[in-house]
């Protein structure tokens, strides 16, 4: 799904999180419901293939006071 990313500043591919990522997001954000958060898949570092991972909601580009990136798994 192509949605606007507040970090990348343009439309980029987003996807819903896996169950593991949802668990991580709940822990990171202290939220009970994260099923409607979309993850930015834009590759921000071509060399490592690192992706943006900024979270947004379907209807809101900025659901948080400042942009939040899902942290990598521990």
Question: Residue numbers of the site for Zn ion (CB under 5 A)?
Answer: 5, 7-8, 40, 42, 52, 54
- Closest CB to Zn ion among residues 32, 67: 67
- Closest CB to Zn ion among residues 11, 23: 11
In the complex, minimum distance from the CB of residue 53 to Zn ion, in angstroms, rounded to a whole number: 8
Q: Is residue 1 a contact partner of residue 11, using CB atoms and an 8 Å limit?
A: no
Q: Is residue 44 a contact partner of residue 52, using CB atoms and an 8 Å limit?
A: yes
- Closest CB to Zn ion among residues 2, 27: 2
Token representation of residue 40: 């930015």
């Amino acid at each position: 799904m192509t949605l606007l990313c507040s970090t990348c500043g343009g439309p980029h591919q987003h996807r819903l999180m896996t169950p593991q990522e949802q668990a991580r997001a709940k822990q990171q954000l202290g939220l009970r419901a994260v099923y409607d958060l979309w993850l930015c898949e834009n590759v921000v570092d071509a060399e490592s293939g690192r992706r943006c991972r900024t979270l947004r909601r379907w209807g809101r580009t900025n659901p948080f006071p400042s942009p939040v990136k899902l942290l990598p798994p521990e």
